[in-house]
Chain A
């Protein structure tokens, strides 16, 4: 039997890896979307994003353990809970930092991430908790070139819906137009009688809710683990930098693209799979410092 190959790798294997790249890209896209949103509106580099993603997964786990609330309600509830927590943080701690240098926001959110992770590690250990996928999404299909677990397929679908929805919200609705206007010139928008501080709080809450949503999606795949966010967040930052800070469409497209690239690296040179994204980041910064989709200011 002859099998078609590309650079010595069977076609089937290649398709499989591309598919997996797309799935990982879905997580990158959702997380970098939230980051880009927050940076665009608040000018805060939200280093707590990974920890909030982890919180999303933990809230889903705790809802199941202590209240018997399953996956589907958790998919809505966890982002709401974590989003509210985010809004509280914004009101209490981030607000005084807006006028200061980026560095202060970065340091604060970084510290916040360490505290959240430390607390969860103290109570739940570092090796993680079990969270089973809902029964209707277990099992998988044989696609011929690979075995696709239904749940992973769902992740891609859910992610595309959420990313598209967020993009529509920002670009096509009235609320979105206020948000964009408030980013451009907050003083002027405020003068028109729009409550800009409330919009900012809402934006942070939305960005955080996106992270928590991704966390719930991730819970059945990875163990629900206090460190699950910190493993991912550095990559996601690289994605945002490559896509262009604050560019919403850019972060989504770049997320999926880099997922694919990482997938390919895992076939051809797996040892480099954790570094390839940073190599791309370095190259992009050299050639186009504003990022692939960013506007040079």
Chain B
């Protein structure tokens, strides 16, 4: 171990001489992956995100501006207070330059504040709340893969157009659920649908949704929408089937459904769900090639959109550090916003002034069991939603002070 460290240090020294102009604080570029490693969101991001980030560093050559790139990770247990402690420690004593991934909107909003005050980059792939690029936007915050607006706009608008004009929400009672419910309500109303009711369930720790489902059933709304995520969505959809919501003529809308959720639900239960996603592994040769590599390292589990987003955003960050010739947060973010993103994940992706990464999203439908060729062959792509249509337009009224 000592020898490795010494060698790394010597390499860094040697390389550092070559790039005399470049400035990297503390002679290391450290990326901290902060997510849920043990709870309801551990499969959709978790260690998979760490693997994705490591792959990006490896593919980039392990060094930027001649300095070693290091990945550290921690479990925030979906609790903002725990996350705040970790991030403060990372920045103050462990010289972390970027806090990345960060599922759970309540946690992400706390991290956004700390990274803003301490001038570090918050590269968010997995949290959903559109407030991250709205009222809570930050000059050093980037929201990469998707957000509640894009989900609401994709799934919400589509289902209303297909005749689902009255909605009942079952919402996770915290920042994410509220944001998703709010954005979907706006999308439904804009398409002339109406809201029949809402019930909010505690997060985390709810496993039995039957009571909420019964209330949704009683409302006779045409669409029962789940503004929750991960294991909560899995349980909701599974139990909705059990209580005969679908056979009673109601349509289920999983507003945020990850590939890992579909895998866990099984196609028999999940079939027919319409889902908005930022990435699907089986879209083209490029996505398949990367995903296959990822799957080999991740117990043959195919990547979710957010894990792919972690890879792409880490890569983009490293390129920007090289281009900016420093790891100082604001300079790097400026470069990240200047450079377009073209990889397997995004085509002509662009990071806007408010921190939103705009790229094409997809509306997909979960296949029937007989249509699927095997594990992870789950989605039919219904349509590609162009980035400018998918994401909320950048306007001052959404509360981001960076937007003039």
Contacts of B86 in A (CB 8 A): none
CB–CB A20/B210 < 8 A: yes
B38 within 8 A of A: yes
CB–CB B243/A140 < 8 A: yes
Pairs A-B, 8 closest by C-beta atoms: A274-B202, A126-B42, A266-B211, A127-B43, A130-B266, A127-B264, A125-B43, A149-B242
Interface size on A, residues (CB 8 A): 40
Q: Kindly identify which residue among A21, A127, A221, A232 contacts B234, using a CB–CB cutoff of 8 Å.
A: A127
B231 within 8 A of A: yes
Q: Tell me which residues from 206 to 242 in chain A have a Cβ below 8 Å from any Cβ of chain B.
A: 221-223, 225, 227-228, 231-232
B339 within 8 A of A: no
CB–CB B211/A147 < 8 A: no
Contacts of A13 in B (CB 8 A): 214-215, 218
Contacts of B41 in A (CB 8 A): 126
* Minimal Cβ-Cβ distance residue in A for B267: A130
Distance to closest chain B CB from A50 (angstroms): 12
CB–CB A270/B43 < 8 A: no
CB–CB A270/B263 < 8 A: no
Contacts of B239 in A (CB 8 A): 221
A128 to B41, CA, bound (A): 11
* Minimal Cβ-Cβ distance residue in B for A126: B42
B303 within 8 A of A: no
Could you give, for residues 124-151 of chain A, a 1 whenever the CB lies within 8 Å of some chain B CB and a 0 otherwise? Answer: 0111111010000000100000110101
Most chain B CB within a 10 A radius of its CB, from A17, A126, A147, A275? A126
Contacts of A267 in B (CB 8 A): 211, 215
How many A-B residue pairs have C-beta atoms within 8 angstroms? Tell me: 115
Distance to closest chain A CB from B232 (angstroms): 10
CB–CB B43/A17 < 8 A: no
CB–CB A129/B242 < 8 A: no
Contacts of B217 in A (CB 8 A): 147
B44 within 8 A of A: yes
Contacts of B46 in A (CB 8 A): 126
Q: Kindly identify which residue among B173, B214, B234 contacts A271, using a CB–CB cutoff of 8 Å.
A: B173
A111 within 8 A of B: no
Q: Kindly identify which residue among B38, B42, B199, B218 contacts A270, using a CB–CB cutoff of 8 Å.
A: B199
A228 to B44, CA, bound (A): 17
A121 to B266, CA, bound (A): 19
A223-B235, A266-B212 are contacts. A125–B242 as well, Cβ < 8 Å?
no
A183 within 8 A of B: no
Contacts of A152 in B (CB 8 A): 210, 242
Chain B residues close to A by CB (< 8 Å): 38-44, 46, 173, 199-202, 204-208, 210-212, 214-215, 217-218, 230-231, 234-235, 238-239, 242-244, 248, 260-261, 263-266, 268-269, 299, 301
CB–CB B214/A270 < 8 A: no
CB–CB B43/A24 < 8 A: no
Could you give, for residues 6-29 of chain A, a 1 whenever the CB lies within 8 Å of some chain B CB and a 0 otherwise? Answer: 000010110011001101100000
Q: Kindly identify which residue among A21, A127, A146 contacts B263, using a CB–CB cutoff of 8 Å.
A: A127
Contacts of A149 in B (CB 8 A): 242-244
A263 within 8 A of B: yes
* Minimal Cβ-Cβ distance residue in A for B260: A127
Contacts of B212 in A (CB 8 A): 266, 270
A263-B211, A266-B211, A270-B212 are contacts. A223–B243 as well, Cβ < 8 Å?
no
CB–CB B235/A147 < 8 A: no
A90 to B264, CA, bound (A): 34
* Minimal Cβ-Cβ distance residue in B for A146: B214
CB–CB B218/A12 < 8 A: yes
Contacts of B248 in A (CB 8 A): 147
A23 to B41, CA, bound (A): 27
* Minimal Cβ-Cβ distance residue in A for B299: A125
* Minimal Cβ-Cβ distance residue in B for A272: B202
Contacts of A10 in B (CB 8 A): 218
A225-B231, A232-B207 are contacts. A126–B38 as well, Cβ < 8 Å?
yes
* Minimal Cβ-Cβ distance residue in B for A264: B211
Contacts of A118 in B (CB 8 A): 38
Contacts of B238 in A (CB 8 A): 221-223
CB–CB A20/B266 < 8 A: no
Contacts of A130 in B (CB 8 A): 264-266, 268-269
Most chain A CB within a 10 A radius of its CB, from B200, B234, B264? B264
Contacts of B204 in A (CB 8 A): 231
Q: Tell me which residues from 52 to 102 in chain A have a Cβ below 8 Å from any Cβ of chain B.
A: none
A75 to B43, CA, bound (A): 28
A23 to B239, CA, bound (A): 14
CB–CB A221/B42 < 8 A: no
CB–CB B214/A17 < 8 A: yes
